[in-house]
Amino acid sequence: MRCISWRELKTIVPYSRQHIGRLEKANLFPKRVRLGQCRVCWIVDEVRAWLQERIDSRSLTDTPGD
């Protein structure tokens, strides 16, 4: 199991901190893990699985701009 910081997370998922927080609160994104008072991380396998779900759910007939 590997944890990633915000810096690495934003290279995988190009959302703002605020949007990630909203998704977490709505249970639509993997929850962060609190490592200490001022440090959090995300489990990279959970983030990759979340992203793969989005890739798998897109329709082959989707076109840009739809």
Rounded to a whole number of angstroms, the distance between the first and last alpha carbons of the chain is 37
**The whole model's pTM is what?**
0.84
Taking the alpha carbons of 20, 33, 27, 66 in that order, is the dihedral positive or negative?
A: positive
pLDDT tens across 17-66, in order? 999 999 999 999 999 999 999 999 999 999 999 999 999 998 765 666 65
Q: In angstroms, rounded to a whole number, what is the distance separating the alpha carbons of residues 32 and 14?
A: 16
Q: Which helix (H) or strand (E) holds 45?
A: helix 44-57
The pLDDT of residue 58: 86
Average pLDDT over residues 9-13: 97
